[in-house]
């Protein structure tokens, strides 16, 4: 049976870069955030999301205004919880279908930013945590999307700490220098292939 390997890490850890690298090694990788975005572009989902908010969160293109939603939910844990409760079951169903199409592989990787927060780790055979020092993470996010330090820290506060994630992970990759990170990932992939 195909093993499910969870890949997670906080904002700015570089887990997306790691996911792309793993995919380039021929391992099927499911990017949960990308699929959640696709699902949130579906007409009926747009309507369902709008019902969660008092203010209008649909832009002039009849799509969800992601920036507006993010600014609301990261200040309001209850709204974030409601949004997650709406979207996560849809992503879970989509992943099940995707897994059926990829079940001839010995293992696949499921990249999820909030794997532990949603209990998704229970469905994984092993978990890889990508981490980095706080200042490295913050500077990556600032250069990636121009967020300010306070916004980034607020978003980080909505995620479990790396220390708590590390206790629940099977492999921990500290991602500072990419070449070192890729060497470590290659070692992990070798272990997964023979286990």
User: Going by DSSP bridges, is the β-strand pair 29-31/107-111 parallel, antiparallel, or unpaired?
Assistant: parallel
110 is in an annotated binding site: no
16 is in an annotated binding site: yes
57/63 Cα distance (integer angstroms): 8
26 is in an annotated binding site: no
129/165 Cα distance (integer angstroms): 7
The side-by-side arrangement of strands in the sheet containing 29-31 is 29-31, 107-111, 3-8, 126-131, 171-174
14 is in an annotated binding site: yes
Strand blocks (E) in 74-131: 107-111, 126-131
17 is in an annotated binding site: yes
Binding site residue list for ATP = 12-17
Binding site residue list = 12-17
């Amino acid at each position: 049976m195909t093993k499910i390997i969870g890949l997670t890490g906080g904002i700015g850890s570089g887990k997306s870069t790691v996911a792309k690298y793993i995919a380039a090694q021929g391992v099927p990788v499911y990017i949960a955030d990308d699929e959640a975005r696709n699902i949130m572009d579906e007409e009926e989902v747009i309507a369902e999301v709008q019902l969660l908010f008092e203010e209008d969160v649909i832009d002039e293109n009849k799509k969800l205004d992601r920036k507006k939603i993010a600014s609301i939910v990261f200040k309001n844990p209850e709204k974030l919880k409601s949004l997650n409760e709406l979207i996560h079951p849809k992503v879970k169903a989509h992943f099940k279908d995707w897994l059926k199409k990829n079940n001839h592989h010995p293992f696949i990787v499921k990249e999820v930013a909030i794997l532990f927060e949603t209990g998704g780790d229970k469905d994984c055979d092993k978990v890889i945590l990508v981490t980095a020092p706080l200042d490295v993470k913050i500077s990556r996010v600032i250069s990636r999307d121009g967020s300010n330090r306070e916004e980034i820290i607020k978003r980080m506060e909505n995620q479990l700490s790396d220390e708590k994630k590390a206790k629940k992970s099977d492999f921990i990759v500290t991602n500072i220098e990419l070449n070192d990170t890729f060497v470590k990932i290659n070692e992990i992939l070798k272990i997964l292939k023979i286990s």
